[in-house]
Amino acid sequence: RMGRLGDRIGSERILAVGLLMAIIVYIPMSLVTNVWQLGILRFFIGISDACLLPAVNALITKYSPHHAAGRIFSYNQSFQATGNVFGPMIGSSISSLFGYRAVFLSTSLLVLANFLLVRKNTAEIKTAKK
Q: What phi and psi, each to the nearest 5 degrees, are found at residue 111?
A: -65, -35
User: What pLDDT sits at residue 7?
Assistant: 66
Largest Cα–Cα distance in the chain? 51
Q: Give the mean model confidence (pLDDT) for residues 84-109.
A: 94
Summary mean pLDDT of the chain: 88
> Residues of the chain with pLDDT > 70: what percent?
89
DSSP 34: S
Please give the Cα distance from 48 to 5 (Å, whole number): 14
Q: What phi and psi, each to the nearest 5 degrees, are found at residue 33?
A: -120, -10
- pTM beyond 0.75: yes
Assigned superfamily of 2-129: MFS general substrate transporter like domains (1.20.1250.20)
| Domain spans, the chain | 2-129
Q: Sign of the C-alpha dihedral, residues 92, 97, 101, 104?
A: negative
> What tens digit of pLDDT does each residue of 37-62 get?
999 999 999 999 888 888 888 888 88
